[in-house]
Amino acid sequence: MERRDGRRYVPLAVRLLAATRLRPLPAAFALFVAVQVAFFAWMNAIDFLDGFRHHGAIVLRYRLYWFEGLSALLVAAVALRLRVAPAAAARRLAELAPVDGHAVPGDLAYPRLLLRGLAVAGIALSIVFTLWVAVAMRAAGEDWPSGVVVWVLLRNALVFGTVFQCAAYDLHVARLFARAGRAVREVDLFDPAPLQPFGRQALEGALLWFALTSLVAFFLFDDLSRRWTVSFLALLAGLSLVLLVLPAAGVRGRVRAAKAEEAERVRALLRRARDGALAPGAEKDEAPLRLGALASYLQLVTSAREWPFDAPTLVRIGLTLALPLGSWLGGALVERLVGWALGG
């Protein structure tokens, strides 16, 4: 979507990565380091300006270390996805052009009004969320200094705004692929290769969000954040499933229609072959053989894969992404058991 001055809208996270003048992956790492450096500088400035009187802030700062590390990783990963997503989707659509025989519908530019609106919504939600956490911390006996509240507010605004924008753009691209799938003219039930770009887009689009689901699950180990983490995990898991299914839903509908059409045609031939096989003298002609061949072909048609990805691929990805979550949960369980044994 074009701006009035002719320039395309670019989200803030993408501009930050582009400002490093590095390739996307090194730029994302630089953003991760920059957020960490800013955090340490801010916390030390708070201690310096406060004359190091609030010794409790030191403990609070250590508690924030792992929160900040995960938050910085979250921002860097989502910003990286937001930067590379348009080019990756364009390559997939270019691969689909020979299949359709016509231009694939859709605009891969960043939707300006949508992304700006979600950035504002993310900032507003970050304010509400930060104030809620500050009140909860005070109720738990850990009063945040005002400088910490300001930092958490700024960090949450960056996290929420970037995540909202990236999720909206991934959904935007997924809808474009769903439309492109419905526009596919010809489907070969026994050659899924031309439709593989739909599967690659679906897996690539959902991979980040499944990985973030495992990453955010780490916050379950903190008693204070556990209440909102469960809701956030449910939203991430739902988004991951939608991004996995939606890009391939259109072409799946075309494959199902092609399967139904071919199966009906084969059943009609089967009925004629059956009548021929049951006719007098059928054992002396080729009707029984043709009947068996058609039955086998019908089984092949009905068992043809409808989705442009297979179950083993999904299982491998799921197991890979479950490894960190399983390690964290296992470590937490061992820690609890050791604490229980020593306390007992």
- Which helix H or strand E contains 170, and what residues bound it? helix 146-182
Q: Give percent of the chain above pLDDT 90.
A: 7
Instruction: Determine the average pLDDT of the residues in 199-204.
Output: 87
C-alpha 247/C-alpha 182 separation (Å) is 10
C-alpha distances in Å from residue 57, one per residue of 36, 47, 133, 224, 239:
18, 8, 16, 17, 36
Each residue's pLDDT tens digit, 205-240: 888 888 888 777 777 666 666 677 777 888 888 898
Provide the residue type at 6 as one letter: G
Nearest to 93 by CA among 101, 104, 85: 104
pLDDT given at position 171: 92
What is this structure's pTM? 0.79
Give the pLDDT band (50/70/90) at residue 192: confident
Please, is 298 exposed, middle or buried when counting C-beta atoms within 10 Å of its C-beta (0-12, 13-18, 19+)?
middle
Question: Strand, helix or coil at 8?
Answer: strand
- Check the CA dihedral 322-328-334-337 and report its sign: negative
pLDDT given at position 101: 46
Segments making up each domain of the chain, as ranges: 7-185, 189-334
Instruction: Give, rounded to a whole angstrom, the gap between the first and last alpha carbons of the chain.
Output: 64
Each residue's pLDDT tens digit, 76-128: 888 999 899 888 888 888 887 665 544 455 578 888 888 888 888 888 988 88
- Model confidence at 139: pLDDT above 60: yes
pLDDT given at position 340: 64
Phi-psi category of 228—alpha, beta or left, where left has phi over 0 and alpha has psi -120 to 50?
alpha
Top-confidence residue, 193 or 167: 167
Each residue's pLDDT tens digit, 233-276: 888 888 988 998 899 898 899 999 999 999 999 898 888 877 76
pLDDT given at position 1: 41
